[in-house]
Amino acid sequence: MKASLGRRYTFAASHRLHNAKWSAEENRQLYGKCNSPYGHGHNYVLEIAFTGPVAPETGMIANLGDLDPFVQREVIEPFDHKYLNEQIPAFRDVVPTTENLAREIFRRLETFPGAKLERVRIQETSNNSFEYCGE
């Protein structure tokens, strides 16, 4: 039997949308208030989905007792209460839009052993969310 497992996590972080290749004016035009110089922040909600066979001995796709500490170590600890632009190396040269955040989190979580990471969904505010399924 194959099934999928969804799990939800939250973290609070700040970011600024700014591309150093463009002028201040171009950045303001493209990113609007998200270009505000000191950054701003969100309560991000992360939803991840894994698929895989349900192990007959355990009845599970993945043991949440393994998954939770993995996500904690790979995502929550490095991202929670942080400024993404300055404290996550991947965003030194990449603009931390939520699209790029979804890709970075996917990259960090796809190595989870035993089940296949199917989808990462990030809710940035109650009005917008982004999904990434690894291309």
Partner 1 sequence: MRITRKLEFSAAHFYHNPNFSADENRRIFGKCNNPHGHGHNYVLEVTVAGEPDPETGMVLDLKELKQILQREVADRMDHKHLNYEVPELAGQIPTCENIATVIWNLLQPKIKQGRLDRVRLYESPELFAEFTADDANGNAAGVRA
Interacting residue ranges for partner 1, rule: CB under 8 A: 10, 12-15, 33-34, 36, 38-43, 80-83, 86-87, 125-126
- DSSP letters spanning 22-77: S-HHHHHHHHGGGG-TT-EEEEEEEEEEEEEE-BTTTTBSS-HHHHHHHHIIIIIH
The nearer residue to partner 1, 82 or 116, going by C-beta atoms, is: 82
Structure token digits, residue 92: 């030194």
Instruction: Answer yes or no: are the C-beta atoms of 124 and 70 closer than 8 Å.
Output: no
Q: Judge whether 81 counts as a catalytic residue.
A: yes
Q: Judge whether 133 counts as a catalytic residue.
A: no
Active-site annotation holder among 34, 47, 74, 118: 34
Q: How far is the CB of 43 from partner 1 (least distance, A)?
A: 5
Q: How far is the CB of 115 from partner 1 (least distance, A)?
A: 28
DSSP code, position 4: E
Q: What angle do CA 12, 49, 45 make, to 5 degrees?
A: 15
Q: How far is the CB of 129 from partner 1 (least distance, A)?
A: 12
Instruction: Answer yes or no: are the C-beta atoms of 50 and 59 closer than 8 Å.
Output: no
Active-site annotation holder among 81, 110, 131, 133: 81
**Which residues share a beta bridge with 119?**
49
Q: Judge whether 40 counts as a catalytic residue.
A: no
The nearer residue to partner 1, 111 or 126, going by C-beta atoms, is: 126
The nearer residue to partner 1, 4 or 10, going by C-beta atoms, is: 10
Active site residues: 34, 81, 124
